[in-house]
Amino acid sequence: MENLIEIKNDYNSLDKLLTVLNNESVFECSKEYDIWEHRTDANGQMAQCLVLKKSGMHAIKAFFVNDNTVKINYIIPNKVMHAYFGKSVKTHRNIIEIITGTIKQAILAGPQKKAFVELEDVVKKAAA
């Protein structure tokens, strides 16, 4: 789950957006390195993103794709939970991994979508 959101010029940096999200929401918001996609910035360093956590199992990360557009993605913020419940990036999976992955996604799809929409609304309010 992902979405692009237009941001006002007043909040066009991670630090400014972090301040607004901390003031406007009841969720925990922090600036962290993007360990989920391993993006790099212009200097070749690991890029940063904002993580808006609902719980150890549900969160979104936000990063700028251009000056006024933020891309938000659903993530599992807990590294152990992400390793188990996150999407597999292996190119070859055996039949058991495919079946358990399908079951896992079917069970988690509803709560993940609900959490994503709730956290997305917080970012939209801050952007409006």
- 88 backbone dihedrals φ, ψ, rounded to 5°: -75, 135
Q: Which of 78, 47, 62 is nearest to 116 (CA)?
A: 62
pLDDT at position 12: 83
pLDDT at position 30: 92
3-state secondary structure of 25: coil
Mind listing the pLDDT tens digit of every residue in the chain (128 residues)?
888 988 888 888 889 989 988 888 888 999 999 888 888 888 888 999 999 998 888 889 999 998 888 999 988 876 655 555 555 555 566 777 677 777 767 767 778 888 888 888 888 887 66
Give dist(CA 38, CA 46) in Å, integer. Answer: 7
For Cα atoms 43, 47, 53, give the angle at the middle one, nearest 5 degrees: 165
Strands (E), 7-125: 28-33, 48-53, 59-66, 69-75
pLDDT at position 43: 85
| Claim: this prediction has a pTM higher than 0.85 | no
DSSP 8-state symbol, 40: B
Give dist(CA 113, CA 11) in Å, integer. Answer: 26
The domains of the chain are located at 2-127
pLDDT at position 71: 92
